[in-house]
Amino acid sequence: MEFLEEFPSMGRSDLRDLKKMIDGGFREFTRSYGEAIEGFFDPLLGFMVWFEKLLLSTPWPIIILIIGGIAWLGSKSIKVTVGSVLSFLVIGYFGMWEDLMSTLAIISVATVLCISLGIPLGVMMARSNRVQAVVTPVLDIMQTIPAFVYLIPVVMLLGIGKVPGLIAVSIYAIPPIVRLTNLGIRLVEKEALEAADAFGASYLQKLFGVQIPLALPNIFAGINQTIMMALSMVVIASMIGVAGLGVPVLRAISNQYLALGLMNGLAIVALAIIFDRVSQSYGTRIQKHRQGGDHV
């Protein structure tokens, strides 16, 4: 009956050897390729450093002006614009301006990275069922595997710093934009596509003239979610050396500083709400043509 009571595991020493082998293999890999990979990401690092410096060195009124401008262009809503500007002012007033800029920098770069990789990948998935069958489970893994697990190899490879932080954030944040680009394109009315075919449209004309424009509401929902997920990684990213609002939160956890944690946490929430409102109302605005009613 012993067999049933204790799970027949592979044995402690075998298991240890296996783990050792994997760790050793990866360490070997890191030793031989780590530098090359780091070199590959150097331009990205350069850009991130430059962008963060730019945000930090720009006089705050100009940043506020730009934020207000983007919020207005995106949402065309006075409420959202005023809300955004006020939030930034309050966050700055409570002494978090620099962390706010750092967070803004990494979120912006991560979002741009996710969009520029995610949309083409989504387009390829929509075009081929085989690609979809391969990519979908990978996305599932990326979204469900605990972030700390893939932080380990990333840190082993690239050490601690902005680039591994960016990669960790992007791995977590890219699935929605890929998924929703794919979904949006697959949901495009087949009548419109058939008409484009019947009038002799090429693949690219169909893609850029019909599929992507009609999928835009979904693509924007994807961008919105991607930004939200990137923001939710801010604290974890700060564990591997990314500056920003996450760092004080981390410090607050280990030292039990309630007020510090609360203020920075709320600043992240405010940022999330601003991003969400602006990108969402932009998303609804670009699909006005679907509703009829008076025209723009």
- Chain residues in the site for other proteins (CB under 8 A): 189, 191-192, 194-202, 205, 209-210, 213-214, 289-295
* Torsion angle, alpha carbons of 73, 278, 144, 167, to 10: 40
Q: Of 113, 176, 165, whose CA–CA distance to 142 is shortest?
A: 176
Residues of the chain by 3-state class (helix, strand, coil), percent to 5: 85, 0, 15
The CA-based angle 39-48-154, given to 5 degrees, is 50
CB-nearer residue toward other proteins: 116 or 205? 205
CB-nearer residue toward other proteins: 139 or 180? 180
What kind and span of H or E run contains 68?
Answer: helix 60-75
What kind and span of H or E run contains 282?
Answer: helix 258-285
CB-nearer residue toward other proteins: 195 or 269? 195
Of the CA atoms within 13 Å of residue 135, those in its CB half-sphere come to 22
CB-nearer residue toward other proteins: 154 or 215? 215
Q: In whole angstroms, how close is the CB of 203 to other proteins at the nearest point?
A: 9
Q: In whole angstroms, how close is the CB of 119 to other proteins at the nearest point?
A: 18
CA dist 171 to 103, 174, 290, Å?
17, 6, 34
CB-nearer residue toward other proteins: 210 or 243? 210
Q: In whole angstroms, how close is the CB of 195 to other proteins at the nearest point?
A: 4
Q: In whole angstroms, how close is the CB of 115 to other proteins at the nearest point?
A: 20
CA dist 104 to 58, 97, 110, Å?
13, 10, 10
Q: In whole angstroms, how close is the CB of 127 to other proteins at the nearest point?
A: 16
CB-nearer residue toward other proteins: 31 or 130? 130
Q: In whole angstroms, how close is the CB of 286 to other proteins at the nearest point?
A: 9
Q: What is the spatial distance between Cα 259 and Cα 268, in angstroms, rounded to a whole number? A: 14
